[in-house]
Every structure is written in structure tokens, then in C-alpha cells.
Structure 1
Amino acid sequence: IITIAKLIAYVRTLSLSVLAALVDSVLDIASQLVLNYTERHSSMQRSSAFYPAGASRLEPIGVLTCAALMGMASFEVLKESAETLFYHSEKGTALDGVNLASFWSMVAIIFVKLGLLVLCQRADHNYLRDHDDSQAGGGGQNNNNKMSGRQSVRVADPTLEALAQDHWNDALSNGVAAVALCFVLIDDRWWFLDPIGAIIISIYIIHSWYATGKEQIEQLTGKAAPEELIEELQELASHFDERLIVDVCRAYHFGPKFLVELEIVMPRETLLFESHDLGMDLQYEIESRDEVERCFVHIDYERRPYDEHVVSKVPELREKLRASAKKLNMAHSV
């Protein structure tokens, strides 16, 4: 309905500001279809034969696709508006169809979009609250330690955030279009405010979706988790069992959530099944947190002053460390 109202307003006025708002609405429909598809499929399968690590990264990919669509369409409107502003010094009768009905339809759309924005923000708030409640209720035996007083990193739903941004962009673009139409209604000599309004709308949409796309790219490429989350995970692991020592704790984005790598040290005399069971329990404890997608726990019998993943790529260094480890083990056995 909103898109049809904008289409009617554009046909009547041929306003570039209304065109910018209309393009935004048309792409809103396309983006909502994309976001609905990615959200549904990412939540349907945590893991499967086709997606062994789950399909949660479909959501940021969907948001990134929407950002690209919005950016390209807004750039085209920006180019058209700039050409109209700089190469057509006299507007002629292009805006003769401006009337109060077109103006008030744009104003009505602003209030509708603000209402939808509030609904998305409330839904996002409920999403965070429900996940916080589920995390507080499913803690297990280690929730009574000092970690219980700390607040976990909250991960918002990227789909809800993208929809909320869509509605906010719509409200702003329609507001600029309504102001441009208002000035043209007052006096035709203000015609140049129409392409200027379209340029402002396009630049804002490009900027806002660029920021959104950049954030999604950082999540997809594995940006490091906030320091407070890493400290919480390290403290949780340190207090999980008095026998273990945390050697390395890594956490980084794996889509909207985080992948955690823990390297812990156990006493040499610890039996294999004891080490395995403790590592599995620690993995379950960390993966029960809503901001964590997966956790890998590596158990060792001593600290390693090097990154094992880096060593694995250098054969000479790998053989040298293996030889030193054999000598050390022989010394301990004696």
C-alpha cells in the first residue's frame, strides 16, 4: 500500500524526491523477501550434511545483499538528480502536478513508517530479553560463581536491525520529499529543492547502508570479539575446574555470533577419559551462551609458547618442536 501511494504521488508530480523515496520502498520489498528467506533458512538448520557448521551466516549475507541493492539504486537516483539540477536550469512544467493530496500522502507514510520502526525496536528488545532470560535459566553448576554478576555481550538479531533501519530510512526520505513538495506547493520557483532533496535522501541511504554493509563484512571475515567477552570466557574457564589452567582464549565472529577457541592445560597424570569429559563439559557450558555459535576446547599437558596453527604451516619449525618435545618427554619418563 505504501509503495502504491508513493507510485501515485510520483506519477502525479514527477518529483525526484518522491522518486528517491519510491525506489527505497520498492527495494524495501525486495530486501524484506531476501531477509525473510535468509532468516528462515539460517534458523531451520543449525547443522546438516550441506552446512556442517550451521547456516547462521546466511543472515549477514542477506543484509549485505540488501545493502548493495540499496546503494546501487540510490546512486542512480543521485546521478539523475544531479543531472537535473546542473543541466536543466529551467524546470518547465515537470512539477505542475504537485497537489495537497500528494503532499499529505507522503506525510501519512512518515507516520506509518515511524510506527513500524517502533514495532521493530520492541521486537528486537524482546529478542534480547528472551535470550538473556534463557541464558540465566540454563546456566548449570558454574553459574553460582562470580561470573553470575557480570553482563554478557548482547547480540542483536541482524534481520530485525536491518528492518528497523529500512523503516528509519523510509521515514527520513519521505520527510525530505514532503518538505520539497511543500516548498514547490508554495512557489514553483523553489523547484530546485526537489533534486536537492533527492540528492540528500540518496546520500543518506548510501551512507547508512555502507555502514551496515561494513559491519556485516567484519562479522563474516572473523573480526575479534570484544575484550569484555574474551575476559568473561577466560574467567569462566579458569573457575570451571581447579585442575585446569587456561593457556589461550580466542573468540571471533562466525557470522552474527562468535566462535570460541580454548587451549587449556591439565596435569600430566590426568587420565584421558577425565580430560575428555572435562573438556566436553566446558564446551557445553560455553556453547550454552547465546552469543556463542561454537566452542572448541583443546587440552594439553603443558603450555606452548607459540601458535600451533602457525607452526603447522612451517615444516622445519614443526620438526624442530617435535624433537624438543620428545627429549622433554624422555626426561619426564626417567
Structure 2
Amino acid sequence: MSDSGRLEDPNPDASASSSNTTTTTTSEEERLVKNAQCAKKELEAYYKKQNEILDHYKQDSEQIEATRRTRIRLRSSTAVSGDSSAESDVENQQEALRRASTISMKSSKDSLLLRHEDAQNEELKLAKAAARLANITLLVNLVLMIAKIVASYLSGSMSIISSMVDSVVDLTSGAVLSISSRMIRKRDPYQYPRGRTRVEPLSLILISVIMGMASVQLIISSVTRIHDAAADGQKDEINVSWPTIGIMGSTIAVKLTLFFVCQKYKSNSSIKVLSLDHRNDCISITMALACAWLAYYYGAKPGESNTGVSLLGLCPSTGCDLYYLDPTGAIIVSFYILYTWIRTGYAHFVMLSGKSARPELINRIIHQCIEHDPRITHIDTVYVYHYGTKFLVE
């Protein structure tokens, strides 16, 4: 007890040491828990990847077995359609039917084949749905592009013009892909003995260059508009009237509807791409409309003093001139378009350069080669690399 009558710790150094020890122990336990959680996540990711590899092996085996069964059926139908009076044809038909019946008697294989046939039917339905949605998207993009041209003319907004350029990008890419697909399907073994599968990546690289230049030009125009307004006070008039809002709002509603429709078939890779495209369009159009609307209603008009308004408590003394939101929104949308097409062009450039396939795909091919025949004991070298949009295996 001290002179003032208060109780004091007889050993303050020991108490401080105990407190430090407790803190150190707690931090050590937290570190161990975090390490254990990280190790658990890595282990879960590893086993998830292994399960995906096994699923791919199973799907490949089922597909090969189904192809073999289809060939047997074709041989059987060919034998039936031949001369039934010829003894050799009858023997071939009986042999084909016997092999077909032998396969069908194996219940395990038969169940796998039935499941594969169901999967093929489902894939066929998804492919038809993807084709319909692609055609609908192409038509919708054409209509929306015309509507955005009208909205751009009425408003004079750089943000809406950038959204219109985005629609031109979508429409042009869809048309070029459609044309390139037709060119690829029309094979000419004399002029193009290895096919024309490289037409698609070449066309997309060309589009990437053109759209990248258009985006850069739009960025330059937006920066020029900001400079003229800030330095010289020259502001281009923006008129985001109700017709413009109605056009852009309808565009957002249509794109959002298509996004939800595509979500029902998102297991298909093509439809998944369409779904992402519709979602990104909704975001970019909404941002463009918001920037244009705020710049029109809350920005200083041409000829007025550059004072602006107070919005949500921002700049309460002098006010904020939101006129600059319009070219700023155009710059953001243009940078997004530029980034998207640079990434697309680079991806297809890699395909043309003959880059090797992913290790997972190479392992799947090696697995099927080993399992093809028991006499195959090992494989020396396997090359799998891009040949256009597809792969070439050596």
C-alpha cells in the first residue's frame, strides 16, 4: 500500500511480462489459425482441380465410346441398304449387329452411353439456343445502334456517343464473326488444304486495331472538350431531354432482359459470353446516361459562369461544375472499350503464333492415347498447340 492509501502491484515487472506473454501467445495462435485456413483452402483447390481432371477423363472416354457405337450403327445401316441377296453383305450385317449387341449387353458401358446421349441432346438444345440468342442479339444490337445514333444527335453528349461506339463495336464484331464462320465452313482443299480456321483470329485482330483507334480518337476528343471548357470557357451544349433518356433507358431494359434470358443457359460457353456482354453493356450504358444527365442538369451551361451547383454537400461554398462529368464518362467508357479490344486482340494473336495448349488439355490427350490400346506402354513426345481457334496435335 502506498502512502496515499491506494493498493499497488507488488511486482509490476512480472505483471507486464505476463501481459506481454499473453499477447504474444494470442498473436501466435491467430497466425497458426490463418496458416491452417490457408492450407485448407489450398488443399480444397487441389482436390477440386483433380476432380475436374477426372471428370474430363470420364467425359472423353464416354465420347469416344459413343463415337465407336455410332460407327457400328452406320455400318449396320450400310449393310442393310446394300444388296440383301449377296451373301457377303448379309454376313457383314450380321457381324455388325453382333458387335452392336455385344456392346449393348454390357450394362455399365450402356448406361454410360445413355448418359452421353442425353448429354449430347442437351448440348444440341443449348447449341440451338445459343444460335437463336446470337441472332436475336445481332438484330437487337442493330436496332439499339440506330437508337443510340439518334440519342447522340439529340443530346450532343460525349458519354452517349461513346456508348454508341460500343454498340458499333458489338455489331461489327458479330457481323465479322458470322462472315468468318461461313468462310471457315466453305472448305477448298486445293487453295486452302489445311482449312481457313485462322480467318477468325485475323479478323478479330483487325477489328481490335480499328476499334482501338476509334477509342483513342474518342478519348482525344473528350480531353479536348475538357480543355476548351476549362481554359477558354468554350462549352458545347448538352441536351439530355426526355426522348434521349427514354431511348437510353429502353436500351438498358432490353439489355437487362437479354442478360436474364442468357442466365438460363449459362452452361453453354457461347451463351455465357453473350451474357457477360449484355451485363457489361448495361453497366456502361447506365454510367454514360448518368454522366450525361448529371452534366446537363447540374453543370454550368454555355455562357454561364463556371460556378456549378452544390450536390450532396460537395463544394458547398463555390459549387461543383458537373459539366465535366460528360467527357469524363466518355473517357472511362472509351478506356474500357480500348482495354477490352486490346485483350481480345492479344488473345487471338497468341492463337496465331502457335502457343502451346494448357497442361490440362495435353494431359487429357496423353491419357486417351495411353488408354487407346493396351499395347501402348509409353509416349515419347506430344505437341499440342494452337492452329487458329483450334488445336493441332502431333
**TM-score band w.r.t. shorter chain:** 0.5 to 0.7
* Deviation of 1:26 (Å): 2.7
One-letter amino acid of the structure 1 residue matched with residue 357 of structure 2: A
The Cα shift of 1:185 comes to: 4.1
**1:169 shift after superposition:** 4.6
1: CA distance between counterparts of 2:266 and 2:388?
Answer: 18
Indicate which of 40, 48, 52 corresponds to 2:189. 48
After TM superposition, the score normalised by the length of structure 1 is 0.62
Q: 1:101 aligns with which of 233, 243, 259?
A: 243
Instruction: Note the alpha carbon deviations across 1:169-220, whole angstroms, 9 max, x for none.
Output: 5333312211112213432231110000000000011011111111111111
Partner of 1:184: 295
Match of 1:236 among 368, 372, 376: 368
1:57-206 superposed matches below 5 A: 57-89=198-230, 90=233, 92=235, 94-95=237-238, 97-117=239-259, 125-126=267-268, 156=269, 167-189=278-300, 190-206=322-338
Classify 1:212/1:122 alpha carbon distance in 2 versus 1 (closer, same or farther; 3 Å).
farther
Cα gap change, 1:119 to 1:52, in 2 (>3 Å): farther
- How far apart in 1 are the matches of 2:263 and 2:218? 29
Distance 2:214 2:279 in 1: 17
1:120 Cα offset (Å): 5.9
Change (3 A) 1:168 1:55: farther
Give the whole-Å Cα distance in 2 for the aligned partners of 1:93 and 1:79: 15
Q: Which runs of 5+ in 2 are unaligned?
A: 1-142, 301-321
> What percent identity do the matched residue pairs reach?
33
Is residue 217 of structure 1 aligned with residue 349 of structure 2?
yes
Distance 1:253 1:118 in 2: 34
SS at match of 1:246: coil
**8 A contact 1:27–1:69 mirrored in 2:** no
Q: What letter matches 1:171 in structure 2?
A: C
Counterpart residue number, 2:382? 249
**Counterparts of 1:219 and 1:124, CA distance in 2:** 25
Identify unmatched segments of 5+ residues in structure 1. 127-155, 262-334
Distance 1:164 1:55, change over 3 A: farther
Structure 1 Cα separation of the partners of residues 387 and 280 of structure 2:
28
Output the CA distance in 2 between the equivalents of 1:68 and 1:111. 31
Are 1:60 and 1:255, in contact at CA under 8 Å, matched by a contact in 2? Answer: yes
CA 1:68–1:184 in 2, change beyond 3 Å: closer, same or farther? same
Superposition CA RMSD, Å: 2.5
Alignment of 1:276-295 (within 5 A): none
**C-alpha distance in structure 1 between counterparts of 2:189 and 2:262, whole Å:** 31
Partner SS state of residue 247, structure 1: coil
Q: Secondary structure at the match of 1:52?
A: coil
Whose RCO is larger (CA < 8 A, sep 6+)?
1
CA pair 162-219 structure 1, distance change in 2 beyond 3 A: farther
CA contact (8 A) 2:228 2:235 kept: no
**Counterpart in the other structure of 2:137:** none
Q: If each structure's helix is expressed as a fraction of its own residues, which one has the higher value?
A: 2
For residue 114 of structure 1, report the CA deviation from its aligned partner. Answer: 3.4
Worse overlay, 54-63 or 78-87: 54-63
Q: Which has the higher strand share?
A: 1
| Contact kept? 1:91, 1:191, Cα under 8 Å | no
1:14 corresponds in structure 2 to 156
Q: Residue 191 of structure 1 aligns to a residue in which SS?
A: helix
TM-score normalised to structure 2 length: 0.53
Deviation at 1:249, TM superposition (A): 1.1
